[in-house]
Each structure stands twice: as C-alpha cells, then as structure tokens.
Structure 1
Amino acid sequence: MASSVVVDHSQREMEIKAFHESKAGVKGLVDAGVTKLPSMFIHPPEDLLSSSLPQEEEEDDEHLHKIRSLQFPVIDLTGFDTDSSESRKEIVEEIRSAAESWGFFQLVNHGIPLGVMEGIQRAVRAFHELPQEEKAKWYSRDFSRKVNFFSFHGDLSAATPADWRDTLSCKTLQDPESFEEIPQICREEVKEYMEGIDGVVMKLSELFSEALGLASDYLASTRCFNARSMACHYFPICPEPHLTMGGTKHTDLGFLTLLLQDSVGGLQVLHQGVWIDVPPVKGALLANIADMTQIITNGKFKSVEHRVVLRPTVEPRISIACFLSTDDLDRPYGPIKELLAQDNKPIYEQVIFGEYMKKYKL
C-alpha cells in the first residue's frame, strides 16, 4: 500500500489564501511559469491508484485485464426519430442495461450538430484563456451567483488537496435571463448548445421512463429534468500530472449529467472496482446517472464514482458538464411507487432536493 503524503498544513493555508486573493485560477499559475506543483495540489498516492480493489485482487492481472477489456457502452439515438418500434425498443434496452451496470454511457447521433459542440468548446477555452484581469471580474466564491469563475468548490481546507482545474459555472439555464450574465465571449455559444441539450433531454426523459417500465411521459411529469446548470471546466497543462488530479472521485448530486469532453481524455469511471478510461468519441455526449436518479429508481439505475486523471499533454483539457435536476426544490423525491413490490421494498427515504443541495453548499 502506498504511503500517504505528509501535509504541511501551515504551508497549504498560506498557498490557499494567496491563490484565492490572486483571482487568477490554476491557469494563472501556469501563466506565471510554475514548474513544481504547489503543495495544495498534491494528492495522496493511494488516491491515484488504478483500482479500489484489495491489493491481492489488484495483483490479479487476468481479472484486471478482463474488466478493462469490457466495451464502454455507446448508444446510437438514430432510431428514436424513426417509425420503427423495434429500433426504439432496442435503444430502451441498451439504456436500461447501461444505466443498471455502468451508470455511464456515450450517446451518438443525439441531434446536436457537431459544429455547435465544437463551437462551445472553443468559446469555453477562449474564456479561460482571457487575460487574468478580464477573468477576475467573474471570480467569486459565492456559489449562489448565477455565473461565477472559480477553481475548486466548497471549503477547501489545508487537509484537502485541490484539483488542477478552473471552472466557469452557469446556473438556472432554464431561465432566459440567466444567459445575460454569461461572459459575452461564450454567451451565444452556451445559449445555442443549451437549445440542443433541451432536445436531448426530451428524448432521454422518454427513453429512461420506458427503460423503467413506465409511461414515456412519467419522468417529465415529476419535473426531475427541468432545471439546468453548467460547469465549463478547463484543465491547464500540468507540470507534474502524476502528483495531482483534475477531478477527485465523486458522484453527481442531481438526476442526470450530460458531459461534452474533448479529445484529450482523462475521464475515468469506477466499474467493478477498477478505474476504466472513458474514450473520447468525436461528436458524442456522455450521460451519467446521478444520485437522485439512483434514489427514485430504488437503486435500479446506478450513480457511480468517476474522476479525472491528468495526462502528460501539450493541450489543456476542456469538458462541459450540464447538470439536470428539479426546478421544484421543495418537492420530496423517493423511490417511485410503481417500481416497488414485495421483493423490492424501498431502500431510500424521501429527499427534498433543496435541502440535499444545502448539505453540499451548492
């Protein structure tokens, strides 16, 4: 077992304070020519391991090879718009299988033009590569703001290593007025991309409902996909990528996340105890089940841990996560009654999403 890093808390506290006061983000460190990682970004070696299996299982090369050779699910939505009921049934079955076993899957032929996807990637990169004094206008640790630029969420303490990542966060994107607060350099691209996301969400809402054996309009009636927010991530080139992470392992809090990643790679999903690389697919969207969907499906659909490891690269990584959740923060959500039976009793209590979010200071 790898030994843990010895943390100099006083040094990290000084680094964190100076970092926030600079309002320059991680990109600011790169621009300043940093060649060694500040200690606040160094992660314990055990967090960087390639699996979470016990050591004896991790040493079983045949077992690891078998898991890593599994085909990551790719679902073609072309059949959604055809008159073939068989094509739709096939998509529904593929979604059910992927949601139950992986919690993640790639979506291709989803309806968002490639030009729109590439456009928002370019625009997000352009924002993050603005001069520091321009980006500083949006830098804020006030996460109640509709739009803010920051480098790590929550209360970073000296005991918690930071991720090597900057983020432009855009909230309440179901409200047209929210777009006016987005930086002009990427505003139109975000708006156009979100119009495409709306079409994908409509399809997935029906397909997920049918995959659960419910009427196609069931999930739409619960309003669980009505709210949209976006995190536009930028992972600068890192001088020591083997010592840090772009995103610590976590699950997502809402109902569903739709992720657009570029060709750099680095996203990994924990599957059967092993971290599996999610291969970039040009023009694809990644769908991942989030915590609230695991709750309402009584564990049938899985919200799984994922993370971002950093690659030695000459290009920064861009990823754009669209989080889907309810616009009724006072509504209780629990296991769907129609899914429960004598042999499938509820394993989760009801959750009020607004209160759930406050626990995580969102």
Structure 2
Amino acid sequence: MRVAVVGAGVVGLSTTAELLRRGVDVVCHERAGGPMAQRSAGSSRIFRLAHPTPDLVRLAQAAREGFGRWEQASHTAMIAPGGCVISGDQVPGWAAAMAAAGAAHEIVDGRSGRLRLPARRPPSAALVDPSGGVIDVDAVRAHLIEVTSGAVVQDHVYALEDTPTGATVWSSAGTARFDAVLLTAGAGTSPLAAQVGIYTPPALAHHVRFTFPVDPAVSWQCWIDKPSAGLATYQHRSGPGRWAVGGSIDPGQVAWEAGRDAATAASRDAVLRYAREHLAVEPRVVDTLYCVTTPGLADGFEFRRHGAILAVSGENLFKFAPLLGEVLAEACTGGSTPAVADLARR
C-alpha cells in the first residue's frame, strides 16, 4: 500500500512515523521550511488533561501514554511536569469533565499554596491539573525527524484527484498515484480538500505568542486564564528564564485581511500591556512566535473523507500528536473516518 501524507507538521510526522512502523510505503510532502516549521514551530507547548469535555480529557490521557512511548523510544524526556492551572468562568465545567473521565484534579482558592503563578493578583479560584506540564517541542521534533528519515520530501502538492482505485497527487515533483492520501497541511488543507469536495473550515487568522525574561529560578505552573472580562491568555515556561504568553485579542485585529504586520503589532500591544499590569515578569519582549490559526475551532479536531482522501483539521493539536498519529495511520490503511466520540471509548 502507498500513502501520501501532505504536511510535515507534528500530526503529519506522527502519522508518517506510525505508517512506517506498520510497514507501509509512505511519502510525507512538505512544501517549504522543513519539518514542523509552521503551526508546529517553536520550542514549547502546554500539555494538559484539562479540557471542556470528558471525551477530550480521555483522549489527552491516551496521548500522554503515547508521549511516554516516544520518550522510551528516544530515551529523552518530552514533557516537563509541574502542573497546569485553569482559571475563569469555565472552571466548574472543566472540573466536571475531568471528574467524569477519572482524571486527577483539584479546585483551589486563589490564596492557596497549591498555586504558583506569575500573577500580581491571583484568581479567586482555579482548577489545578497535576498532570499538566510543558512539551519540549525540540525533543519531539528530533525524535520524529529521526524515525521518519527518508520518508519526508520537500515538495509542493498543488492538486488532488480522487479515483476509483485511490488518488492522484500533482506536485512540483510530478504526478504520482497513491492508495490513500492524508491532508494535514494546516492552512493549506482547506484549498486542497475543496478540490475533492471535502469541506474544512476555510477562515484563517493570525496569532502571535510573546516571550518575556523572568528569574530562571521561578517554577511557575502553566496557566490558562479565561476571565469574564479582560484578556484571555495562555502562559508557560519556554526555557530557562523565559515566560511565553499568548492572548486572545479582538478578532477583527487578527483577522486574515488585517495582515500579518498589523495583527502582530496589535497582539504585541495587548499582551505587553497585560504583562505590565498583571504579571511578575520583565515587560520586555525577547522572542516572538507567529502562526496561522483557524478561528472558532478551539480545542479538538475533525476528520472528513472523500474516497481515498482524508483531511484532518483542528486547533491545539500538538498535545494529541501521538494519539492522532496512531488513529490516522489506522484510518489511512483501513479506509475509515474516525470520530472523536468513538476514539474516546476505545
């Protein structure tokens, strides 16, 4: 069997690695920039079991087991523990979802010693996810590049055709036939999927994360804060003496038509102002990480198929990567279309 994976982000590489493990002939096409250079770029991500639904909590638990297998295979730690704190109006619902999935958690008062946050004024209450931590993106990247060596090619896929016996892929390298095609191309998924009648959310937006210098000795927890008023943020350690902050600003300021430069400037102003007023960090930006997002998807993912071609779309997929690799490899070889609810009951 021959499978084409379009997109060498973390999900595309995870699937390629699992297909190779199963003995499948697979080619992973990456347009430019090298593996994990677009939405999977950067050095760190938050890992958490905390999610708004029991199904997503269960899937995060399965993904954590997958990271454990990667850690064992590479002899490298990939998730630094420390916990993740959730604050805001969603705390009761997220706590209920964790309870339903049997995941350890605790709701604590903002003055509790269980909270280690950079906040000048801590939240009144918070959900503590003790299994949360920081994903070492560099370690994940190194492992996946090693195990997919030889299967990844720099090649721009620009057209697809579903056929009765598989699919045809047109790329800068020429034309090739495959038994199955998986689209994990981030912002490039929607236009390719549309060629074969698969709908994926087409809207795009700009998102920028900023890093501030802090005392290297601090051991703050990852923090997702969604207050009823003010800037919603996610925050975590991104290296020794470095604290990363991303904020959800006015959608109009980061809409695709606003342009990257304007969206970056607006995001920087909002996050820098927030850091000055609310965080115990040095209010000086030392690093900027830009990516393209699909507004409205939040956590989670969707799968859609037309014949031999399967497309996956979603946001915040990095923490699910080991699980998605296994699920998508099985779908490619078996011709199935996964469903989140079914996966959570496996």
Larger RCO: Structure 1 or Structure 2 (Cα < 8 Å, ≥ 6 residues apart)?
2
Short-chain TM bin: under 0.3
- TM-score, L = length of structure 2: 0.25
If each structure's helix is expressed as a fraction of its own residues, which one has the higher value? 1
